[in-house]
Amino acid sequence: GENVEQHPSTLSVQEGDSAVIKCTYSDSASNYFPWYKQELGKGPQLIIDIRSNVGEKKDQRIAVTLNKTAKHFSLHITETQPEDSAVYFCAAGYGNNRLAFGKGNQVVVIP
């Protein structure tokens, strides 16, 4: 089955700087790559997703890039703010909604 690896496990950035989280996946059949943000006491919330027919997608301060050849995708957060502090999960799937998740990345934005 699909295996998703996510790194680094923890990332600290100064407010206003950019944060980048990288994930790799194993199954070349995967064609859907969502990113979830989880705040304390809440469930994962979808923040952005990308499909395999697209190389990049942007939504305000967040963007995701996908390299199908290398089987990796990244989340980019620009101009980080304290409210961006959370655990971020990447995932991969292929049309049946059975998502394989990465282990999560704790992002800490230092004011």
Partner 1 sequence: EPEVTQTPSHQVTQMGQEVILRCVPISNHLYFYWYRQILGQKVEFLVSFYNNEISEKSEIFDDQFSVERPDGSNFTLKIRSTKLEDSAMYFCASSQDSLNEKLFFGSGTQLSVL
What angle (nearest 5°) sits at the alpha carbon of residue 103, between those of residues 98 and 38? 85
Q: Which of 12, 15, 46, 110 binds partner 1 (CB under 8 A)?
A: 46
Q: Which of 41, 70, 83, 111 binds partner 1 (CB under 8 A)?
A: 41
CB of residue 38 to partner 1, shortest distance in Å? 9
How would DSSP label each residue in 35-57?
EEEE-TTS--EEEEEEETT-SEE
Count of residues near partner 1 by CB under 8 A: 24
Whether 34 contacts 41, CB under 8 Å: no
CB of residue 50 to partner 1, shortest distance in Å? 11
CB of residue 8 to partner 1, shortest distance in Å? 16
